[in-house]
Amino acid sequence: MDEKCIGIIGMGDMGKMYARRLSDAGWRINGCDRPESYEALKKEFAGRGRVNIMQNGHLVSRCSDYIIYNVPAKNIDDVVAQFGPSTKMGAIVGGQTSCKAPEIAAFEKHLPQDVEIVSCHSLHGPGVDPRGQPLVLIKHRASDESFALVEKMLSCFGSKFVYLSASDHDHITADTQAVTHAAFLSMGAAWRANAQFPWEVPRYVGGIENVKINLTLRIYSNKWHVYAGLAMLNPSARRQIGQYAESVTALFKLMLAGQREELSRRVKEAGEAVFGNARWKGRGGEDEGLLLKDELLDRFSLGELPQERVRNNHLSLLAMVDCWWKLGIVPYDHMICSTPLFRLWLGIAESLFRKPELLDEAIETAIEDNTFRADDLEFTFAARDWSERVTLGNDEAYRRKFEAISEYFAPRFEEATRVGNEMIKAILEKTH
């Protein structure tokens, strides 16, 4: 094994996952987090001879050949300003934050000129098996030889390398991640506002409802800064999230006004733009759709399955497809650079839009069934409120809302994470 060693600054969920997997593959790791976490980290990694926990980023930077910053995106400028000038001469530096514009700006501003820059981004959470998942590599300022070294180091993840520029990365992840999270964050906010635990409400149990609940709880059980960073620091994300809020509002107004034809026309036009023309077909014409079957999804309920499936107007999904249409996004074009969560979300949107009888039922329910109005009203408020908080770019306003909702759902996180992991595994196996 090459004696080059890897530095990891930020040993939180992702940093630890990187340290474990890279050291298992034989690389020597120098890792640090904040000084106050030194003792605990040292204890946690005591059994791993190849992981050397250090007190701070200066110590890591001066002796590592490839240094990966695994800190919250909002802190990247401060952390690189602090440790970047200590980087070993001729080393390579990269970041694993979810949004590349601030990361690259920080590197350009604070790193010495002799330091090369190769960034990366694992498009999955710390609990997901990285094999086969996309791993973005960004050769920003590096020789072919240095880039090949980073590829060699990261190849032990077994992920699919996706080669992008920093700005293409941010465009794509705004289209996929940021707007998908907006939908799930809004569902959680609406359920809490209505004092509902969705697994106790028959309309939210079974089939595609299970995906909505499990993924919403998955997001709220994670760290707020991951979603805040992705939404507020990505230059493209605000527009996307704003459009989602506009689509929700426009469709809800049509539902309230009972404008069946207008609603049906708009939903179907959006569906045609996104799913028409057999967009899910691969180049060889084979079916590459994600279509998720109710029977499969039914297995992953947090609540009791009702005797009979209860109708839903699926405002969150109708608005997602409307939003993709208005923004000219063809989600299949981004599959190569997608997270499991995005693929599941697209999968349930597809399940609704590729089954005409189900889509007609959703439209019919939207117009005729007013028992949904309270839920939809709160959902519309929630989508608009999240969008406003993102536009204002206020970390504190984002954190407070996120944490209040997170607290509300916390008692079910353990079970939701377990069921969600099984669901993701089963579905990804099926759709590979």
Ligand X SMILES: O=C(O)C(=O)Cc1ccc(O)cc1
- Using CB under 6 A as the criterion, which residues of the chain lie in contact with ligand NDP when the complex forms? 9-10, 12-15, 32-34, 57, 70-73, 75, 79, 96-98, 122, 125-126, 222-223, 226, 229
Q: Does 243 bind ligand X (CB under 6 A)?
A: no
Tell me the C-alpha to C-alpha distance, in Å, between residue 385 and each of 160, 186, 232, 379. 36, 9, 14, 10
x/- track of binding to ligand X for residues 113-142 (CB under 6 A): ----------xxx-----------------
Choosing among ligand X, ligand NDP, none, which partner's interface includes residue 312 (Cβ < 5 to 8 Å by kind)?
A: none
Choosing among ligand X, ligand NDP, none, which partner's interface includes residue 79 (Cβ < 5 to 8 Å by kind)?
A: ligand NDP
d(CA 156, CA 323): 37
**Tokens standing for residue 131:** 């094999």
For residue 185, the number of C-alpha atoms closer than 13 Å in the C-beta half-sphere is 31
Q: Which of 9, 185, 219, 241 binds ligand X (CB under 6 A)?
A: 219
Q: Which of 9, 172, 226, 349 binds ligand X (CB under 6 A)?
A: 226
Q: Which is nearer to ligand X, 181 or 266 (CB)?
A: 181
Q: Which stretch, 5-13, 258-266, 338-346, 365-373, contacts ligand X (CB under 6 A)?
A: 338-346
Q: Indicate the angle between helix axes 260-275 and 356-368, nearest 10 degrees.
A: 150
d(CA 151, CA 194): 48
For 9, the 3-state DSSP assignment is strand
d(CA 126, CA 19): 12
Query: Taking the complex as a whole, how short is the minimal distance between the CB of residue 369 and ligand X, in angstroms?
Result: 31
Choosing among ligand NDP, ligand X, none, which partner's interface includes residue 329 (Cβ < 5 to 8 Å by kind)?
A: none
Choosing among ligand X, ligand NDP, none, which partner's interface includes residue 219 (Cβ < 5 to 8 Å by kind)?
A: ligand X
For 215, the 3-state DSSP assignment is helix
Choosing among ligand X, ligand NDP, none, which partner's interface includes residue 210 (Cβ < 5 to 8 Å by kind)?
A: none
Burial 74-100 (b: 16+ CB within 10 A, else e): bbbbebbebbbebbbeebbbbbbbbbb
x/- track of binding to ligand X for residues 68-87 (CB under 6 A): --------------------
